[in-house]
Homo-oligomer: A and B are copies of this chain.
């Protein structure tokens, strides 16, 4: 048997807030780096966690109260220098949530920081967060992934704005709508419109199979 390796999970919890893609940071309770903001994370508990995904769900639930439906494995970070406690492996996950799921009122227990302007984080958490943002951007061109940053029903205009925020560039409306038609993951919500300044806008949602299939596809 080899000498002991530290095995943890970390979660990049992404949301759109104030027009920017942000990630949830928590102040660390324990050493190392106690008191500093960092990605939510913790040890895998072999007696309690079925697998690393379950550990990530538990950590998120315990530390933020969130029960996130879509935790996707991002990458496993490892090595002898990333954690001062010793040789470590962190199985990293990411999740996309609409800001309303983060709860109303003052957020004593966590903060939101823009993924493109994060403070210096402990361990290799800057690298993990950057890789999650890049993954989201890479997948946005051909998937329904950004829909999870919206509430369950949304207008096509809101959806285009979300893609634009994630991709960091503006999209041509007609090209965007043709692409949506090809991808075929949306359906109109019956009899649901949003009243705006001009004419009412139809609300859409993910088709049930798109909602389920989204994260089951191999990345």
Asked whether any CB of chain B lies closer than 8 Å to the CB of A31, the reply is no
17 contacting pairs across A/B (C-beta < 8 A) = A2-B45, A2-B46, A3-B46, A4-B4, A5-B46, A44-B78, A44-B87, A44-B89, A46-B80, A50-B79, A51-B79, A52-B78, A53-B78, A76-B76, A89-B89, A89-B91, A138-B218
Within 8 Å CB of A87, what residues of B? Answer: 44, 46
Does B86 contact A46, Cβ atoms closer than 8 Å?
Answer: yes
Asked whether any CB of chain B lies closer than 8 Å to the CB of A47, the reply is yes
Q: Mark A79-91, 1 if CB is under 8 A from B, else 0.
A: 1100000110101
Q: Which 4 A-B pairs have the closest CB atoms?
A: A46-B87, A51-B79, A52-B78, A76-B76
Residues 1-48 (chain A) with a chain B CB within 8 angstroms: 1-5, 7, 43-47
Most buried by B among A7, A50, A52: A7
Does A7 contact B135, Cβ atoms closer than 8 Å?
Answer: no
Most buried by B among A53, A73, A78, A89: A78
Residues 170-219 (chain A) with a chain B CB within 8 angstroms: 217-219
Asked whether any CB of chain B lies closer than 8 Å to the CB of A64, the reply is no
Most buried by B among A46, A73, A87, A91: A46
State the Cβ distance, A91 to closest chain B Cβ, in Å: 5
Does B78 contact A91, Cβ atoms closer than 8 Å?
Answer: yes
Within 8 Å CB of A134, what residues of B? Answer: 218
Asked whether any CB of chain B lies closer than 8 Å to the CB of A131, the reply is yes
Within 8 Å CB of A79, what residues of B? Answer: 50-52
CB-CB nearest in chain B for A79: B51
Given contacts A2-B45, A5-B5, contact A76 B91 (CB under 8 A): yes
State the Cβ distance, A27 to closest chain B Cβ, in Å: 22
Does B3 contact A1, Cβ atoms closer than 8 Å?
Answer: no
Within 8 Å CB of A80, what residues of B? Answer: 46, 50-51
A53-B138 Cα distance, complex, nearest whole Å: 23
A27-B80 Cα distance, complex, nearest whole Å: 30
State the Cβ distance, A192 to closest chain B Cβ, in Å: 34
Q: Mark A101-135, 1 if CB is under 8 A from B, else 0.
A: 00000000000000000000000000000010011
